[in-house]
A = this chain, B = another copy of it.
Amino acid sequence: MEENKSYEGRTDLALEASESLKTTGQQENGILIEEEYQKKTDIRITCVRITNEEAEQAVGKPKGTYITLESPALLYEDEGYHREISTELARQIKKLLSKEQRQSLLVVGLGNKEVTPDALGPLAVGNLCITRHLEPKGQTISAIVPGVMAQTGMETAEIVKGIVNETRPTAVIAIDALAARSTRRLNATIQIADTGIHPGSGVGNHRHGLTEESLGVPVLAIGVPTVVDAATIVGDAMGQLLDTMEETEKRKLIHGMLDERLKNLFVTPKDIDETVKRISYTISEAINMAFSGTRY
Contacts and interface: CB of A to CB of B under 8 A. Distances in A.
A270 B265 contact: yes
A167 B273 CA distance: 26
Interface string A180-198: 0001100000000000000
A252 B233 contact: no
Interface in A119-170: 125-126, 130-134, 140-147, 149-155, 158-159, 161-167
A234 interface: yes
A211 to B, nearest CB: 16
A165 B167 contact: no
Given A130-B151, A265-B268, A249 B241 contact: yes
Contacts of A162: 159, 161-167
Q: Can you tell how many copies of this chain the complex includes?
A: 4
A267 B233 contact: yes
Nearest to A270: B264
A245 B105 CA distance: 56
A271 interface: yes
A163 B153 contact: no
13 contacts: A112-B273, A130-B150, A133-B149, A143-B153, A150-B271, A154-B163, A163-B163, A228-B265, A233-B267, A234-B237, A237-B256, A237-B259, A241-B249
